[in-house]
Amino acid sequence: MLRIEAEPGAIAIAPERTALLIIDMQRDFLEPGGFGASLGNDVSRLAAAVPPCRAVLAAARRAGLPVLHTREGHRPDLADAPPAKVARGAPGMRIGDPGPMGRILIRGEPGHAIIPELAPLPAEPVIDKPGKGAFFGTDLDLLLRNRGIDTLLVAGVTTEVCVHTTVREANDRGYRCVVLADCCASYFPEFHAAALAMVKAQGGERGGIFGWVSASAPLLAALD
């Protein structure tokens, strides 16, 4: 077992039952001209999460932990995109509209790709999800259960939307979640802080209401 310093208390993880889950580190969210920018966000705010995420990804690979990546996006014909979701944003800059990185938030377009710094290896599953949560409409739960995973190290963007939704879904399915604070980011720093506070609230030595929050450094120290 590895002991990871975390809040509200340290957590012991079994490497053979632990996976790294990297949420939506896509060009559509991190680069200008994508979905995040189309909603009026300053995408540069997400950049700080990339180097720690890269370090954790490399350490997880060295330690032999399963790594899974997710991508938010939709079919080219938008058949899996709820009309209420498509209707958000300014006309001409909505899901499916053409942008500098191809059609916004559409699978297979350049903007839908995971950023090169965190590119998945061929053996690492990439979960294409139509919603905010990584379990909704995907086979993620099946992949994790088939590998005997009970603990998730969660990184990615944005903290209060897709990371949080996924952590909530994971909790209800019985997984322990450790959210890696500096490997997550939001367009709204105050939402990032509040989302992390919510995960570790109402807890003691056995974790918060949705799990644990750690920085990447204690995890790296434990893995290396």
Task: Give the nearest distance from C-beta 3 to ligand C5J in angstroms.
Answer: 30
Q: Does 38 bind ligand C5J (CB under 6 A)?
A: no
Known catalytic membership, residue 128: no
What is the footprint of ligand C5J within residues 171-210 (CB under 6 A)?
Answer: none
Binding segment toward ligand C5J, per CB under 6 A, in 55-63, 146-154, 157-165, 168-176: 157-165
Q: Which of 30, 37, 162, 183 binds ligand C5J (CB under 6 A)?
A: 162
Q: Which of 128, 129, 177, 184 is an active site residue?
A: 129
DSSP one-letter string for 19-87: EEEEE--BHHHHSTTSHHHHTT--GGGGGGGHHHHHHHHHHHHHHT--EEEEEE-B-TT-TTS-HHHHT
**Nearer CB in complex with ligand C5J: 21/222:** 21
Please state whether 14 falls in left (phi above 0), alpha (psi between -120 and 50) or beta: beta
The nearest distance, CB 132 to ligand C5J, in angstroms, is 6
What is the rounded CA–CA span in Å between residue 93 and residue 97? 6
Known active-site residue 24: yes
Choose, by CB under 6 A, the member of 4, 118, 149, 157 that binds ligand C5J: 157
Known catalytic residue at 184: no
Stretch that binds ligand C5J, among 93-101, 116-124, 155-163, 216-224 (CB under 6 A): 155-163
Shortest distance in whole angstroms from residue 73 CB to ligand C5J: 10
Stretch of residues binding ligand C5J (CB under 6 A), selected from 1-9, 50-58, 140-148, 154-162: 154-162
Centre a 10 Å sphere on the Cβ of residue 184 and count the other Cβ atoms it contains: 28
CA-CA distances (angstroms) from residue 147 to 16, 65, 70, 75, 141?
A: 9, 11, 17, 28, 10
CA-to-CA distance for 203 and 212, rounded, in angstroms?
9
Interatomic CA distance for residues 41 and 219, integer angstroms = 30
Tell which one of 151, 158, 166, 214 touches ligand C5J (CB under 6 A): 158
Catalytic residues: 24, 129, 162
